[in-house]
Structure 1
């Protein structure tokens, strides 16, 4: 359904990294579906936890901003499990020596190692977290955190778990999004992201007993229709490429 290197070359676009071409089609699909699951589920969970935070008494804007990026240390675990390579070491050394590598984007996505997805997410989250921490202290909201935790309706433990869960889900969603860009394309990643417009309202109905309003129904239908058209167009393009190969083989 989704087109790989041959079609991209035919259209003059950037080809898929060569390491991906070494994957079997089944392995490639498994990676794609895992990334889709992380993106959709993590976005929905992050939104629900953010709403739960405010519903139960949380009101710090800087904390809600910080938890969206501060979970990046968990990415070091899968990063350490991945095999090292010269490309990853050279990128890490160049990143630590020059700010030019932050401009961390088209060249990085063309890299031949999947570990660079995690590395890029770690660096961008680190910068964003530093900015959020500065804002937290500059605004004086850090002085109110202990009071906010004590007044949280579900208790201090749930307060901490809510922030931790939000931080983890946001990281998984970001990694899923970048991974889809790496595996397929940025357009496909954006289309998968629109599916959260369908999943999140349904999850809110189940968790918070929201009403399914006309506006939500229209938004869900638009998101589903756009995604369906995109998948169908990719199917037609893939079928065209397959027929062209069969004609050349004959």
Structure 2
């Protein structure tokens, strides 16, 4: 009998909180002194969603801006006398010290705000250091190899062919996300993948037709360039899926501190591998001569490489932030959007010609991006409706027990 009375009091308290009246609060809690206002939970939920979308938008800006500027600077490097493949590989990961101040700040903030919670989390859920070191080192080696293959592809292929092959990244990632990350390939997601693939392919065709593909391509290197660029596209998609798997299954966290930790550690490993390759290949001996022969001067040479490194780090930070907060497929969707965006940057800063094909490609990319974002919205709304249904079922079950 006492259990039935207790259940009835709990049901009355829940109903009173839903109605927001004082009688219900008195039945469930007493005087209601420790109860939260009925609108507090929805407001907190709304503020969380706003903060989440703000973080996603910031990461998207980092990816698009960093990728566009880095691609532009890479083109400037090669156009004005740069020839070192390993140097272009190094600058894609050597800017990792830029993440140290942010990493220290967020780590300190986390420890000062909740020392006990952080200690409990570190002792119970944080993976062993050896395991994390192995994961970050493996990702770093993969990143270094991927960066090198992209550098070779850019040297051995016309820009048109290079851009078309890059469009395969999002398709590769759709496959890896389906098998590794259990990503559901709904109709709007597939529509987004197809549109972005065709959008990037149109950019490649436009590059080939406007005479901007360049004529300094080494003869007989086309097959190697094609194979290396295709392999790099597949490998980069695999890396993004592995990063998402690490966030979900190993780190089990998507905080800024965790994202910065992965960025710093994996890029440090990639930088070490790239620098080792630079010295092992002997290209380091030609750096002084390359700098002296650079068309724009030695200062411009150094500034081009430094700004390229900063741009790639911003892009990497945005990529990892999107992988942690959304998914690897969404991250690759955003990266593919940057392909038709790069010609726009070239039009503004290099005086390239903007034609109808590039404009159509950009509109298709925006359409593809909106398709994916709308699917995210539908999934989020479905999840909320399912959660409300489960709560209603629990209350109905409690009512049946009290009636019995």
**TM-score under structure 2 length normalisation:** 0.51
Contact kept in structure 2, 1:95 and 1:101, CA below 8 Å: no
The more displaced of 57-66 and 87-96 is: 87-96
Shift in Å, 1:175: 0.9
1:34 to 29, 37, 58: 58
Which has more helix, going by share of residues? 2
Note the alpha carbon deviations across 1:158-212, whole angstroms, 9 max, x for none: 1111111111110110110110111122222122112202321100111112233
Deviation (angstroms), 1:229: 1.6
Aligned position for 2:134: 99
Which residue matches 1:79?
Answer: 103
Ranges in structure 1 where 5+ consecutive residues have no aligned partner: 1-20
Structure 1 residues 135 and 22 mapped into 2: Cα distance closer, same or farther (>3 Å)? farther
Kept after mapping to 1: 8 A contact 2:73/2:304 = yes
The reply to whether residue 50 of structure 1 matches residue 74 of structure 2 is: yes
Shift of 1:95: 4.3
CA contact (8 A) 2:136 2:266 kept: no
Q: Does 1:116 align with 2:140?
A: no
Which of 176, 196, 210 is the aligned partner of 2:318?
A: 176
The 1:143/1:169 distance shift into structure 2, 3 A limit, reads same
- C-alpha RMSD of matched pairs (Å): 3.0
Matched, 1:208 2:232: no
Larger Rg: 2
Question: Unaligned stretches of 5+ in structure 2?
Answer: 1-44, 112-117, 140-242, 393-404
Q: Which deviations, in whole Å up to 9, do the C-alpha atoms of 1:42-72 show, x marking residues without a partner?
A: 0001101111111111111110110000110
**Aligned-partner Cα distance in 2 for 1:143–1:55:** 21
CA shift in 2, pair 1:88/1:178, >3 Å: farther
